[in-house]
């Protein structure tokens, strides 16, 4: 006599329905409302808003600094993940906790701390000023803040992948005469690259929309250090809701295109 075992989670129909409702309430409906609000503008008005010099400067700054920060974390995060996975040393647990600190720390607190540290009269910023450049109130400061808040994404994405790569594979390659760079290129890189791209995409997406940690250290000078989220807040303070949603749609479309390209690259690498 056959007996059907009931699954722990309910069937496909119920779980799919719950997923679609949850996704619609949190993502699809708000994004749909964003696009719907922009229909109050004509196409000419929409193009005029998103092509304004101030908006284009903020767009270049937001996406440029987010890209550079994600790239920096791609290098730094890979090294940190390697050290934490491959080595055991005193203070390892402390470093693990410090990496997760940006997740727990309010971003505004991080912004204030970074500004106090790297301002022209700060403990570190004063040395930069003496050398003829400044960190806070510049794109460099914005990149630094984004690097801080997006570091965990790369590290936590790479750690389980590194842990799953047996050391015997590296030792076998070395026994066959492969040099360390050859082992890294031909053994480690193919396994790590899809996860690295995932961490990079997560860090980039977080950096584009970051507000709290950047608002203090940026200086918020139009055409110089003004980010797109701040420009949206300026539009909202002026009760220009259609203009704010137009900039939001611009950010959404550009972010979607870039993330789509990254995902396509990741899929191409994973399944050549």
Q: What confidence category does residue 142 fall into, taking pLDDT thresholds of 50, 70 and 90?
A: very high
pLDDT in tens, 150-209: 999 999 999 998 888 877 777 777 777 777 777 777 777 888 888 898 899 889 989 998
**How far apart are the C-alpha atoms of 77 and 23, rounded to whole Å?**
31
**Cα radius of gyration (the chain):** 23
Specify the residue for token string 């899929």: 267
Q: Flag whether pLDDT at 259 surpasses 60.
A: yes
Mean pLDDT over all residues of the chain? Answer: 86
Residue 110's closest CA among 84, 80, 144, 87?
A: 144
Rounded to 5 degrees, φ, ψ at 242 are -65, -40
pLDDT of residue 57: 94
pLDDT of residue 180: 73
Q: Under a CB-based contact definition with an 8 Å cutoff, are residues 55 and 193 in contact?
A: no
Confidence at 2, pLDDT banded by 50, 70, 90:
very low
Cβ-contact 153, 73 below 8 angstroms = yes
d(CA 238, CA 250): 19
Q: Within a 10 A sphere around the Cβ of 70, how many other Cβ atoms?
A: 26
For residues 203-228, average pLDDT: 90
pLDDT confidence of residue 9: 61
Report the percent of the chain where pLDDT is more than 90: 33
Q: What is the rounded CA–CA span in Å between residue 235 and residue 52?
A: 13
Cα 63 from Cα 70, distance rounded (Å) = 10
Return the biggest CA–CA distance within the chain: 85
Q: Report how far residue 138's alpha carbon sits from residue 119's, in angstroms, rounded to the nearest whole number.
A: 10
Query: Quick one: three-class SS letters along 58-78?
Result: HHHHHHHHHHHHHHHHHHHHH
pTM of the complete model beyond 0.75: yes
Check whether 230 has a pLDDT greater than 80. yes
Contact 88, 194 (CB under 8 A): no
What's the CA gap between 165 and 100, in Å, rounded?
A: 23
In 142-184 the beta strands, taken as DSSP E runs, fall at none
133 band by pLDDT with thresholds 50, 70 and 90 = confident
Q: What is the pLDDT of residues 54-73, one digit of tens each?
A: 999 999 999 999 999 999 99
CA 260-37-256 angle, 5° bins: 5
Place of tokens 């799953």: 164
């Amino acid at each position: 006599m056959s007996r059907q075992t009931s699954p722990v989670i309910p069937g496909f129909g119920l779980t799919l329905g719950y997923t679609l409702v949850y996704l619609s309430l949190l993502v699809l409906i708000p994004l749909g409302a964003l696009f719907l609000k922009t229909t109050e503008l004509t196409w000419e008005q929409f193009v005029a808003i998103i092509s304004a010099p101030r908006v284009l400067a903020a767009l270049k700054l937001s996406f440029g600094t987010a890209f550079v920060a994600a790239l920096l974390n791609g290098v730094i995060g890979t090294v940190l993940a390697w050290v934490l996975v491959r080595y055991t040393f005193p203070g390892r647990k402390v470093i693990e906790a410090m990496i997760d600190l940006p997740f727990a720390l309010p971003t505004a607190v991080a912004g204030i701390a970074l500004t106090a540290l790297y301002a022209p009269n700060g403990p570190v910023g004063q040395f930069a000023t003496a050398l003829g450049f400044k960190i806070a109130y510049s794109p460099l400061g914005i990149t630094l803040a984004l690097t801080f808040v997006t570091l965990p994404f790369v590290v936590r994405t790479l750690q389980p992948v590194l842990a799953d790569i047996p050391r015997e594979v590296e030792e076998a390659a070395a026994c066959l005469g492969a040099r360390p760079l050859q082992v890294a290129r031909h053994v480690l890189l193919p396994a790590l690259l899809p996860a690295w791209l995932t961490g990079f995409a997560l860090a980039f997406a977080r950096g584009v929309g970051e507000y709290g940690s950047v608002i203090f250290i940026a200086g918020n000078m139009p055409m110089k250090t003004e980010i797109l989220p701040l420009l949206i807040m300026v539009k909202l303070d002026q009760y220009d809701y259609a203009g704010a949603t137009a900039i939001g749609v611009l950010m959404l479309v550009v972010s979607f295109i870039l993330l789509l390209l990254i995902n396509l690259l990741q899929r191409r690498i994973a399944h050549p």
